[in-house]
Copies of this chain bind each other. A is one copy, B any other.
Amino acid sequence: MKLKIINPNTTQSMTDKIGQCARAVAAPATRISAVSPRMGPASIESHYDEALSVPGVLEEILAGERDGVDAYVIACFGDPGLHAARELARGPVLGIAEAAMHAASLIGSSFSVVTTLARTCNMAWHLAERYGMKRFCRNVHACDLSVLELERPGSDARRIIAERCRLALAQDRSECIVLGCAGMADLCEEITDIIGAPVIDGVTAAVKMTEALVSIRLGTSKRGDWARPLPKPYAGMLAPFSLG
């Protein structure tokens, strides 16, 4: 199967890291492509960034459908454009927050999220509600690290995040940790070892869950909410998005 992972921001080093983590866990028959959109923000740390990452994500989904992609992963913890992407895709589309929270609820009766900036905590809560996972989410913790700090060589991010995970587990009396940023994907194993409790990275969780869905022939339902959008004219610089 062809699995396309879209990092909704335009930072190539993060896209590369995401691709590596994905390939490390993918089934032999899964061909992974990991891409950044041609347009949009270098990192996603606000509703504004998130909203403006969506056109680039959708452009990649449209291209993917032309290329016969079987499933998609949207690799940003805000799951930007998820519902719109599902309208376009025949196969499954998963967000990494969605995949991570689902996985967490299957191996622990509660989880804590550890994310980057405090201002994104509310978005995580909103997603937890939307996915039905609010009852399992004990709290959302910020590390006060920017997304791109995770990409900076020599950064102290690794140590700060591990420490925050340890504290979250203790304070929340929770049973596992959900990493709240695609840029943390490469830290999952190391932090698991440090804190001695399961740590879930959404990138790998989403890769395996989309493989699972495809292998039992489940794609996005085309009834109701996620049916293909109706064709209509689009104006201005977004004219190319018209589905014709």
Contacts and interface: CB of A to CB of B under 8 A. Distances in A.
Contacts of A233: 10, 41-42
* Copies of the polypeptide in the assembly: 6
A221 B197 contact: yes
A107 B219 contact: yes
B43 A122 contact: no
A179 interface: no
- Counting chain B CB atoms within 10 Å of each CB, which of A25, A52, A103 scores highest? A52
A65 to B, nearest CB: 12
A25 B215 CA distance: 7
Given A48-B58, A198-B218, 15 more contacts: A10-B234, A37-B235, A39-B238, A45-B229, A46-B229, A48-B243, A51-B81, A52-B55, A103-B218, A106-B209, A107-B219, A108-B226, A118-B173, A146-B230, A192-B217
Interface of A: 10, 25, 27, 37-43, 45-52, 54-56, 58, 81, 83-84, 86-88, 92, 94, 98, 102-103, 105-110, 118-119, 122, 126, 129-136, 146, 169, 173-176, 189, 192, 197-198, 200-201, 204-205, 208-209, 211-213, 215-221, 223-227, 229-230, 232-239, 241-243
